[in-house]
Amino acid sequence: MTMRMTAALGAALLLLIIGLSSVYTVQQTDQALVLQLGEPVGAPVTEPGLHFKVPLFQNVITFDKRVLNLDAAAEEVIAADQKRLVVDSFARYRIVNPLLFYQTVGNEAAANSRLGSIVNSSLRQALGSQPFQAMLSAGRSTLMRQISDLVSQEAKGFGIEIVDVRIRRADLPEANSQAIYKRMQTEREREAREFRAQGAEAGQRIRADADRQRSVILADARRQSEISRGEGDATAIRTFAEAFGKDPQFYAFYRSMQAYRTALASKTTTMVLSPSSDFFRFLDSLTGATGGKPGQQ
């Protein structure tokens, strides 16, 4: 009885193992390929769910149905105008034929390696026929389509559909970048010197014009002041002439008083004149009125 139960349990366990080995599950994001002794058997399984296989003799490998990423290594490319570029690119692809994919590349790691070489080769071919300026102009989209078409043609043989190929960066090599930077720096310094010279010239021209206008304004002001002063003096002379013309004796007396003030202003001044000099005629009249004699000073 015990031996029979043991045998039954062993048989049940063996049947369970065989049963579990005969089924497999395909996820919604996967597609499967059944292999028998390492060789593909039947069509790829793309429908998600539970599926059957021959236990012990068959095994299942799966591939992703989603869009996969490929970051290609940066490569140095020579453009048509002999300018060197360091291009960093990436690609997006999908496995559309699992059987062909398995037969040609085997797995995703090998596919990425092969696709990386294809992308770099296509970049060299496309960029080598275009000048560097094409990477910076509106024709870049056309250039990217050309690269994508070249990669797609090569990738079809691996059961791969190329979704997109893009250039992330396109830089000059470090040595070229330094040379261009120095040339740009020299050019900017030359432009700065030119602008400073133009500014100095403009400043000198403005200062010269301001000095000229200042001289003209001052000359006009002096001329106007001289004219005004002359007109004032003329008016004063005319006024005095009119005023003194009414009384000539008073005018002579006034002028003599001004002459006395000017000549006798300093106490250290010594004058030797004849008493009968016309200079003292008004003093004579004053001393005559008082009974004195004119003195000398």
Cα distance between residue 255 and residue 203, in whole Å:
58
Asked if 77 contacts 56 with a C-beta cutoff of 8 angstroms, the reply is: no
Cα distance between residue 75 and residue 120, in whole Å:
7
Q: What is the pLDDT of residues 113-130, one digit of tens each?
A: 999 999 888 888 888 887
Q: What is the pLDDT of residues 179-238, one digit of tens each?
A: 667 888 888 999 999 999 999 999 999 999 999 999 999 999 999 998 998 888 888 888
CA distances (Å), origin 123, targets 74, 134, 273:
11, 13, 122
> Diameter of the chain by CA atoms?
191
Which comes out higher in pLDDT, residue 285 or 121? Answer: 121
CA distances (Å), origin 162, targets 56, 141, 261, 276:
36, 16, 119, 136
pTM for the whole structure = 0.53
Asked if 128 contacts 80 with a C-beta cutoff of 8 angstroms, the reply is: yes
Q: What is the pLDDT of residues 166-182, one digit of tens each?
A: 888 777 666 666 666 78
Q: Which domains does the chain have, with CATH numbers?
A: 19-64 (no CATH), 68-177 (3.30.479.30), 242-290 (no CATH)
What is the predicted pLDDT for the residue at 295? 43
* 64 token code pair: 């992703």
Cα distance between residue 51 and residue 24, in whole Å:
5
Asked if 75 contacts 86 with a C-beta cutoff of 8 angstroms, the reply is: yes
Q: Would you say residue 164 has pLDDT above 70?
A: yes
Going by their DSSP bridges, the two strands 49-52 and 39-40 should be labelled as unpaired
Q: What is the pLDDT of residues 75-117, one digit of tens each?
A: 888 877 777 788 888 999 999 999 999 999 989 899 999 999 9
